Amino acid sequence: MTVLRSALDVNGAEYAANRRIALDRLAALEAEHATAVGGGGPRYVERHRGRGKLLVRERIELLLDPDSPFLELSPLAGWGSEYPVGAGLVTGIGVIEGVECMITGNDPTVRGGATNPWTLRKALRADEIALANRLPLVNLVESGGADLPSQKEIFIPGGALFRDLTRLSAAGIPTVAVVFGNSTAGGAYVPGMSDHVVMVRGRSKVFLGGPPLVKMATGEESDDESLGGAEMHARTSGLADYFAVDEPDALRQARRVVARLCWRKAGPPVSPAPVRPPRYDEDELLGIVPEDLKAPFDPREVIARVVDGSDFDEFKPLYGPSLVTGWARVHGHPVGVLANAQGVLFSPESQKAAQFIQLANQRDIPLVFLHNTTGYMVGRQYEQGGIIKHGAMMINAVANSRVPHLSVLLGASYGAGHYGMCGRAFEPRFLFAWPSAKAAVMGPQQLAGVLSLVARQSAAARGKPYDEDADAAVRAAVEQQIEAESLPLFLSGRLYDDGVIDPRDTRTVLGLCLSAVHGAEVRGVRGGFGVFRM
Amino acid sequence: MAMISTLLVANRGEIARRITHTCRRLGVSTVAVHADPDADAAHVAEADAAVRLPGTALADTYLRVDALVGAALTAGADAVHPGYGFLAENAEFARAVIDAGLIWVGPAPDTMTAMAAKTEAKRIMAEAGVPVLDAVDPAAVPEGSWPLLVKAVAGGGGRGMRVVRTPDALPDALAAAGAEAEAAFGDPRVFCEPYVERARHVEVQILADTHGTVWALGERDCSLQRRHQKVLEETPAPGLSDEVRRRLHRAAVTAARATDYTGAGTVEFLLAPDGRFSFLEMNTRLQVEHPVTECVTGVDLVELQLLVAEGHALPPAPPAPRGCAVEVRLYAEDPARDWRPSPGVLHRLDVPGVTARFACAPGGTAAAGPDGLRLDAGVTDGETVGVSYDPLLAKVIAWAPTRDAAARRLAHALARARVHGPTTNRELLVRALRHPEFLAGRVDTGFLDRHHGTLTSRPAAEQEAERLSALAAALADAAANRAAAPVLGTLPGGWRNVPSAPAHKRYRSAATEHEVRYRLTRAGLAAEDHPSVRLLDLAPHRVVLESAGVRRAFEVTVHGEQVYVESSLGAVALTALPRFPDPEPPTTPGSLLAPMPGTVARVAAAPGDRVTAGQPLLWLEAMKMQHQINAPATGTVTEVLVRTGQQVDLGAPLAVVTPRDTAATPPPRGAAQDPATTAPRVPSPGHDRPAPPAEHSRAAHQEADT
């Protein structure tokens, strides 16, 4: 074993400053999470409880195995939009009867659990994760349907929700719907398309058209129970497979359904050897990333606090030293790690990455990308040295690799470097950001500077004098806008990651995701890459 | 002079094991007998050979004379030891043993006959000059004779016994006692005698050989009793003047000589606060509490019984006792619920610091050291304590140079013991042993009744112990869940990236329900009800907590829903409540549910009967105890669901009473979970105890069995 040696000075001023800023950012993140947990606010929460109902997170807690972990995904969906943070839906990976499942649950305290555009994107992302990782899907349904004012953003793409349910089923991935309340009109197809359906006496309401609509359509007098009550669906229509007497009973029955799936993960089992924690304290992860991302940090300090036993066998340490590559285990799962060291990716780094990714595919080993990159190197020497070819090699390798990829944005993730390090568009199975991360086409200052240079050249070409004061104002405004739009809360709100995590949770989050990706077969591509431009 | 080479032990449980233990040391082979439920019992496994007594009922097995004698002959035994209880005082059995050419380990059958009838025994004793209480004619009770005690002529074990304080209650008491005596002994005869208040029960151990030597081997105080059954015994009796002690011993020797007694026996006296005493009865056998005598004298009474039975002579004088010994009887019963028997599987019984088992010295030799701790257990780990027999799990005996030292050692050992399984009287025993009045030697037969409240309620310190124990149980469960998790087992327990509510577990103790809310965070334990508690170490069976600056280890053992937590704060038994309440079949309002498993002894109600609240409807019998089931409300019996002789399980519906004014009697909510709510004789935890009905009056502790 090769134990990393930490050079982090935990008593130094730099560490203290980094830690202070990290704690401030975590406090802000916690406040946003608390907003999401608060759902529709105290008034609606009280009203919901007053009806004798459980809150969505209470339902999830009862569904999960006691004392098991739960990773909530996209908790900040809708942040910065006109819709509430969290988008009225909770999604996440948890363990039910020893089976890792994708769990989704409407939050009926948020506008009746209605689906807005962010709710839809969040739900589709959960479906995507369930399909890619073969996670049984349990839907805790109580939704008033589409948020009508925003129907134009929902109606047409929203059909994918039903498509996904049946595609999951077709792929042999079980789907379970537990209906706690409204699931009407289009929503009725959620239980309709699920493999297993549990309904709650006196609570579930599943019909295509309610009494007023039926009255309008056919003149028939009816009521909720006869059109779509649990009793009716359990005894008459057969839509409900399981009849629960109350909410806890429904969750108990849902657990029994999962227990009877006899589910087996398709990936290789985790090594039975005891898992050693890192040699260094995870808490120290808060003191590594500087406030100013222009100052590089050694990603080995992060790796030493994330991987089992801080045991890391580095690949090509002397070649392309701006990218650290190597092998390790996280909670027993083998991984290949790619981590930016000096921010910039040069040709050797790109070639090294391409080779490393190919090796991981040959060995069926999942890859973890730790981002802190300003992108590929520019300049005459580098262009002439073939940086485009080599960057393309790396992106080719990442794009066509078939082993599971997990990305974590630690610091900067700018430019094509974001792509080469398996950014969102390259479909990593999971992507998380630290509160210190920033992602954009380039850094805000650089971007503002580029705009300013272009404007200055344009003015010069037209022979006009350049207004330096206006330039300074524009630069500041642009810089501020880009800065705001590079921040993790903003990007997370737009579903460009699966969540912003506490750096100290990185090992736990990676461990949980690595276990989840083993739900599907872990098999790298053999050949199968695009043409490598040499 | 005969020599016993193979001994049949006509008994079961603790006493059978104890006799076998001595025989093994002496080189005597043993033959056990067993009824069908006892086929796997320890007393069978430990004997050299065993004979099955087919059946379950006592009359077919341990009380069946011909089967027992046949077993002895079949197995080639040359002697029979009856133990105590069962046929130990049955002269007919003794005669049958002797007639079969076997040695009877006990006194002559004629002596047994004479002493078995209480009125006859008193006559003999009065003639010999032993003080006795005169019988009172119930037909003409003189003024000033109240209260009276009604007793069965063939009595024992408190059955057929009633204290009567007023003349109008006498006829009912006579009838009820007679019926109970008939059911228990096949003899309905009862008699009355004055009831002595604040009396003590003091008995003298005697041992007599066939050569004219009679020993008075010290006395025992057995005043701490419940339902006429002894709970705690000690020797010497505290606070006796030398004069009273001498007179007691002399009276006992006189009694033995008056009956030509041979072997081990006990003469029981009632000792009034003024020092006067009167003969109660003579037990013609070994007593349950004989170990206290052994521990201070160093003799092995079973060994001496065999010696006398073989015809050997005793040394002229008994060994002088040294120090003090205290014994407690650990029963599977719930003192807080009217001593209700509590059958079930005994998963584990482990008393720390035990120095000897079934003997006073580790090697089993008779010589006892100056102090020690002895355990005589009838049940071994994993055995089921059934409803058919006495609920005695074990006797624990401590001895030391002083009474205080013995009591302290015994209390500590009991408090720290692992008793995993049925509810027991352990806490009551610990509190009694630490009670200032007990330590001051002020004991009488009313002690347990007088202090019942304090002995069964949990002081504040114990409530805190329970709360911490419940927290430890929840945390140990979390560790066990993590260890058993098929996936993600190495991740932190209960981890959340977006925390909403703490983990939540519920436990029920005898007294209350504990809700534990906790989170295991990066910074350690966060339990909102325990802000000052720190978690120092966590494993599935061991949790180390620091509370208010004090570090303690909690050992946690789980058997199904039962969780047992031991720490320096004491032992706490908890029931883990399910996350999802099982949807139970609804119980008809007004249903009477069995408060314990048992046999229906008698049914006194039929469908259609008009009944008043509190009126007895039927009786259940379990573990030698009868429990009366009363009408919960005034109304009509609409259903009787059981018949006499039927075995019922805990919570089984017995009968349904429809209240006359249904609106005035709310239906028993949650009756299925807590049968106590519909069986008003049995108080629910945390509620005041209702006044015990007459037949269970614990005032009648004038006399106790074994």
Domains and CATH numbers, chain A: 1-37+267-442+487-534 (3.90.226.10), 40-259 (3.90.226.10), 444-485 (no CATH)
Residue B193: pLDDT over 90 = no
For A55-64, write each residue's pLDDT tens digit: 999 999 999 9
Residue B159: pLDDT over 80 = no
Helix H or strand E encompassing B514: strand B513-521
Residue B431's pLDDT band, with cuts at 50, 70 and 90, is very high
* Tokens describing residue A448: 């503002």
Residue B463's pLDDT band, with cuts at 50, 70 and 90, is confident
pLDDT at residue A171 in the model: 97
Long-range contacts of B386-389 (CB under 8 A, 24+ apart): B386/B37, B386/B343, B387/B341, B387/B343, B387/B596, B387/B597, B387/B598, B387/B599, B387/B622, B387/B623, B388/B35, B388/B37, B388/B56, B388/B58, B388/B623, B389/B12, B389/B13, B389/B623, B389/B624
DSSP state of A236: I
Dist CA B392 CA B270 (whole Å): 25
Dist CA A133 CA A266 (whole Å): 9
The answer to whether the CB atoms of A275 and B503 lie below 8 A apart is no
In this complex, the residue of B486, B490, B583 whose CB is nearest that of residue A331 is B490
Residue A173: pLDDT over 70 = yes
Contacts of B408 (CB under 8 A, 6+ apart): B433
pLDDT at residue B363 in the model: 64
Residue A416's pLDDT band, with cuts at 50, 70 and 90, is very high
The answer to whether the CB atoms of B580 and A95 lie below 8 A apart is no
Cα–Cα separations (whole angstroms), residue B125 to B279, B300, B662: 8, 28, 59
Calculate mean pLDDT across residues B658-666.
Answer: 58
pTM passes above 0.90: no
Residues from B contacting A (CB-CB < 8 Å) are 477-478, 481-482, 485-488, 490-501, 503-505, 522, 579-581, 583
- Structural contact between residues B221 and B275, judged by C-beta atoms closer than 8 angstroms: no
pLDDT at residue B380 in the model: 92
Q: What are phi and psi of B131, to 5 degrees?
A: -65, 135
Q: Collect all residues of chain A within an 8 Å Cβ-Cβ radius of residue B495.
A: 69-70, 505, 508
Torsion of Cα atoms, B687 then B693 then B696 then B699, to 10°: 90
CA distance B516 to chain A (A): 13
Would you tell me how many other CB atoms lie within 10 Å of the CB of residue B356?
22
pLDDT at residue B583 in the model: 61
Calculate mean pLDDT across residues B328-335.
Answer: 94
* Tokens describing residue A65: 């195995």
| Residues paired with residue A144 on neighbouring β-strands, in sequence order | none
Provide the mean pLDDT of chain B. 88
Dist CA B412 CA B400 (whole Å): 14
Dist CA B241 CA B220 (whole Å): 14
Bridge-based pairing state of the strands B148-152 and B162-164? antiparallel
CA distance B494 to chain A (A): 4
* Tokens describing residue A111: 């506008």
* Tokens describing residue A63: 């569904």
Calculate mean pLDDT across residues A364-369.
Answer: 98
Burial-class residue B518 by CB neighbours within 10 Å (0-12, 13-18, 19+).
Answer: buried
DSSP state of A400: H
Residue A95: pLDDT over 70 = yes
Residue B73: pLDDT over 90 = yes
Calculate mean pLDDT across residues B23-40.
Answer: 96
Give the CA angle between residues B101, B104, B106 to the nearest 5°: 160
* Tokens describing residue B496: 């959340």
* DSSP annotation string for B410-445: HHHHHHH-EEESS--SHHHHHHHHT-HHHHTT---T
pLDDT at residue B152 in the model: 85
* Tokens describing residue A452: 């300013």
Q: Collect all residues of chain A within an 8 Å Cβ-Cβ radius of residue B505.
A: 66
Least CA distance to A248: which residue of chain B?
Answer: B580
Q: Which 3 state secondary structure label does DSSP give B579?
A: coil
Determine the residue type at B126.
A
pLDDT at residue B696 in the model: 35
pLDDT at residue B458 in the model: 76
For A370-410, write each residue's pLDDT tens digit: 999 999 999 999 999 999 999 999 999 999 999 999 999 99
In this complex, the residue of A245, A282, A331 whose CB is nearest that of residue B491 is A331
Residue B681: pLDDT over 80 = no
What percentage of chain B has pLDDT greater than the value 70? 91
For B83-93, write each residue's pLDDT tens digit: 998 999 999 99
Best interface-test mutation with A: which of B482, B487, B582 has the largest number of A CBs within 10 A? B487
Least CA distance to A245: which residue of chain B?
Answer: B583
* Tokens describing residue B180: 């109970």
* Tokens describing residue B356: 């000897």
pLDDT: which is higher, B601 or A90: A90
pLDDT at residue B701 in the model: 36
pLDDT at residue B674 in the model: 36
Residue B688's pLDDT band, with cuts at 50, 70 and 90, is very low
pLDDT: which is higher, B453 or B471: B471
Q: Collect all residues of chain A within an 8 Å Cβ-Cβ radius of residue B487.
A: 95, 98-100, 265, 515
Calculate mean pLDDT across residues A72-90.
Answer: 97
Contacts of A126 (CB under 8 A, 6+ apart): A73, A74, A91, A102, A104, A137
pLDDT: which is higher, B514 or B679: B514
The answer to whether the CB atoms of B500 and A66 lie below 8 A apart is no
Number of Cα atoms under 13 Å in the Cβ half of residue B471: 28
Dist CA B222 CA B237 (whole Å): 8
Residue B21's pLDDT band, with cuts at 50, 70 and 90, is very high
pLDDT at residue A476 in the model: 93
* Tokens describing residue A333: 């799962």
Q: Collect all residues of chain A within an 8 Å Cβ-Cβ radius of residue B481.
A: 65-68
Dist CA A187 CA B278 (whole Å): 88
How many residues can be counted in chain A? 534
Dist CA B628 CA B179 (whole Å): 14
